[in-house]
Chain A
Amino acid sequence: MLTYICKRILSLIPVLTVVSVVIFSIIHLTPGNPARAILGPEASAEAVAALAEEMGLNRPIVVQYFSWLGSVLTGDLGYSPFLNRPVTEAIAGNLVPTLQLSTLALLVAVAIAVPLGTLAARYRGSIVDSLTQGVTLFGLAVPSFVLGLLLMLTFAVNLRVLPVAGYTNPFTDPLEGLRYLILPAISLGGVLAAFLTRTTRAAVMDVLMADYIDAARSRGVVEGRLLFRHTLRNAGLPILTVIGLTFGSLVTGSLVTETIFNIPGLGTLLVNSIERRDYPVIQGVVLLATLLYLLVNLVVDLLYAVVDPRIRYSEEK
């Protein structure tokens, strides 16, 4: 198992190399002089030249790439002239709210989707199923920012039970922190929940047709146990796959959600940095998002082996 994990981690290297090239090119893909873009049209030619010199823009591009890569590998993502502090520091400050938001959104999605999808599959064709299908269709059709605004309007503006926007760290004040995070988490997790419910329904329906379900039933196993022990674990693989793949949409979704709910996360940082062309920060955030995505999918792959012994054993042989 350990060698399998190591191999999987090593396999990330080529992916990250390609990604690093793409991210590095961001700065050179925009037309014009990046230093000029950063400083704006008012800046003097000398200031632009000085910044270009400082950023190493005058050196050959391959040299620039390797020097950038070298500093990235040593944990130095550069310096943001706008924030006046190192990029790593800026990201570290904004990472926690984003991680909290996406984790909570994922939990919301799983908590809604797995039971709902399972019930819909078990009672296929019933009212529960039709309602589920309708609601998930709605969830898939409504963009998360519309859902966010609707939630905000209902719970914060009209009912006044939750704050409109803002952020308090749940680690320092759990209750207050959750009150701030719950609406953004629902609006971000809602779309994912809709997608995941449909996947769960299809996967569970597939498994329910399997002989071993009838076989367990023929041994007198109670229905609830059939559904939750026999079926769900087998339906787990497709559900996990979808969770891993849609994690990317959580990251991009958080850009919008954080902006609407004014959460000082990576999304807000990225949007602001794009507006002012703060290239080092953009590069840092995108690199981190990619890394997170890859790591989540690595964890999903490892969970496959936990869920399905056939995968575990074929790897060990």
Chain B
Amino acid sequence: MTERIRIDDLHISIERRDDVVRAVDGVSLSLAGNEILALVGESGSGKTLTARSALKLLPRGATTRGAVLVEGQDVLSVPGDTLRKIRGGHAAMVFQEPSTALNPVYTIGWQLEEGLRAHGVASRAERHARGLQALKDVGIPEPERRYHDYPHQFSGGQKQRIVIAMALSLKPGVIIADEPTTALDVTVQAEILDLLRKCRDELGTAIILITHNMGVVADLADRVAVMYQGKVVETADVHSLFAQPQHPYTRRLLASVPRFGQAVRPQRTPAAGEPPVLRAEKLEITYPGRFRKPPFRAVRGVDFEVRKGEIFGLVGESGSGKSTIGRAIAGLTATSGGVLEFLGTDLRRASRAEVQRLRRKLGFVFQDPASSFNPFMSIADCIAEPMRIHRTPAAKREIDARVRELLDAVQLPSSFASRTPMELSGGQRQRVGVARALALKPEFVIADEPTSALDVSVQATILRLLGDLHEELGFAALFITHDLAVVEEFADRVGVLKQGEFMEIAPAETLLKEARDSYTRALINAVPIPDPVAQRAKRKRAV
């Protein structure tokens, strides 16, 4: 096999205002044709920079040492014109977020042809023909009709197909796929993974796959390189990596991956006979239309209840209405019909004062801890804010004591109280998010994708923390997520939402093992199992 990419002792350091970060520290890797190499590691491990160096797409202030050979040419030292020919011609890239990887003001046809033009395809007719063919190859329906459409007229999955079509249009030997499915729903993810596999099988393309999702690794990769703090700590064939991880970090990483059907949960029996904490009956939430756009029915008459002390998991793909329901309970989105009863009071008919009083009993953990804190407030102020608003407790001394208690509960040192949110890591910030949600000793906590912005290992610790606090404090919770493995591990009962309606509500164990509804089954099937043997067997069965 010929070597498509060889990285030799690559160092990348990034100069900041007052210091230099050694982001990649002596990485050596090689990749042959027909091979898919997965680069895994947590954020900041240097995996993206390493992969991007193959196209010399590095951030400002980056300095490099070492060599990155693409088809024998060192991209770090070749002159600009040669580099331009390598980019797109020998190596191409697929981005994480397809909606930002396409220029919004040009048609997809124009953008497809642009790469061809840059590589000397002079004939307009030929460019058009090749552009169309590329769209056909990646499975865009009716490519002739859609050729002159703009990116915003396509769905997320289609956009990612178009990005892949652009990457493939010049038949490069290498594709760098940077988290190509992270922004997509599981069912779409499965399709995109199939497409990437097809590139490898039919065109012999070598792929560097950057991902944090071990299920995706198990599904697609031939070889895996694990990165940690700028270094490759372990490289192995995918089967042996999962079977016998050598490096302690790899072992830790694999241990923190949530797996289907392996969740060991204490059985919680919700108190029977007691009134539910939350009850929704024929709940309707409609976003009003604007500028002649028709109104959008996000939630269509759902019935469910959350019992005392129970964790109710809400799963579904993007646009299914799961976050809308959570936001409506917290009063962040208006409801338009039905009943939404919280602690026996219908929030839709309650007075302002009553709603305000009930809000004390409710905590909210937001998805992205980076944007859910006011960056100018100290951690102590962030946690104390709900107590100050509701004047419970009223005395400043008591609030301070409670802040210390909460920091302790989420296992953060009390010295963090005076820091600002930006001085904390993502995981630490989300701990503060949990502390803030629990500040008023709520009876009900809404957690909206609380771990999806975090690394797997951090996700595991946050989930454990939430679980322990739940055990201890006994609040009921609505746990919103798109991750079925997480919901199995964490929730007592699960509701599967699709386009604003429940497909199925069942206890977590039975739902995931013996789902009755076909959509639920499709959803479960689409999740790649983080075990190469099982995942490949499953895929074979499906074919």
Q: A residues touching B (Cβ–Cβ < 8 Å)?
A: 124, 210-212, 214-222, 225, 230, 233-234, 307-310, 313-315, 317
Contact = CB atoms under 8 A, between A and B. Distances in A.
A234 B57 contact: no
B441 interface: no
A294 B496 CA distance: 52
Contacts of A220: 84-89, 115, 118-119
Contact of A211 (B92, B100, B170): B100
Given A212-B100, A313-B152, 9 more contacts: A212-B102, A218-B57, A219-B118, A220-B84, A220-B85, A222-B118, A310-B104, A310-B150, A317-B293
A216 B106 CA distance: 12
Contacts of A230: 103, 106
Given A210-B100, A217-B57, A233 B105 contact: yes
A44 B101 CA distance: 78
B127 to A, nearest CB: 13
28 contacts: A124-B60, A212-B104, A214-B95, A215-B103, A215-B166, A216-B103, A218-B92, A219-B114, A219-B118, A219-B166, A219-B170, A220-B84, A220-B85, A220-B88, A220-B89, A220-B119, A221-B114, A221-B115, A222-B84, A230-B106, A233-B106, A234-B103, A234-B104, A307-B105, A309-B152, A310-B104, A314-B293, A317-B293
A314 B100 CA distance: 19
Nearest to A125: B60
Nearest to B61: A125
Contacts of B111: 216
Contacts of B119: 220
A309 B107 CA distance: 9
Nearest to A212: B103
Interface size class of B (residues with CB under 8 A): 35 or more
B367 to A, nearest CB: 21
Contacts of B292: 317
Given A217-B57, A220-B84, A309 B115 contact: no
A234 to B, nearest CB: 6
A222 B88 CA distance: 12
B432 interface: no
Interface of B: 55, 57, 60, 84-89, 92-93, 95, 97, 100-107, 111, 114-115, 118-119, 150, 152-153, 163, 166, 170, 291-293
Contacts of A309: 104-105, 107, 150, 152
Contact of A313 (B93, B102, B150, B163): B150
A233 B107 CA distance: 13
B314 to A, nearest CB: 30
A68 B56 CA distance: 69
A219 B105 contact: no
B150 A217 contact: no
* 6 pairs of A and B residues whose beta carbons are closest in the complex: A219-B115, A220-B88, A219-B88, A211-B100, A220-B87, A218-B93
A216 B93 CA distance: 10
Nearest to A230: B103
Nearest to B292: A317
Contact of B93 (A124, A215, A310): A215
B152 to A, nearest CB: 5
A72 to B, nearest CB: 32
A217 B104 CA distance: 16
Nearest to B119: A220
Q: Most chain-B Cβ atoms within 10 A of its Cβ — which of A216, A219, A315?
A: A219
Given A212-B100, A234-B103, A309-B105, A221 B118 contact: yes
Contacts of A222: 84, 118
Contacts of B57: 214, 217-218
Nearest to B102: A212
A233 B111 CA distance: 14
A251 B111 CA distance: 41
B184 to A, nearest CB: 15
Contacts of A212: 100-104
Contacts of B97: 211
A231 to B, nearest CB: 9
A252 B104 CA distance: 37
Nearest to B293: A317
B77 to A, nearest CB: 18
A229 to B, nearest CB: 8
A124 to B, nearest CB: 8
A234 B89 CA distance: 26
Contacts of A225: 118
A173 B86 CA distance: 55
B149 to A, nearest CB: 9
Contacts of B105: 233-234, 307-309
A313 to B, nearest CB: 7
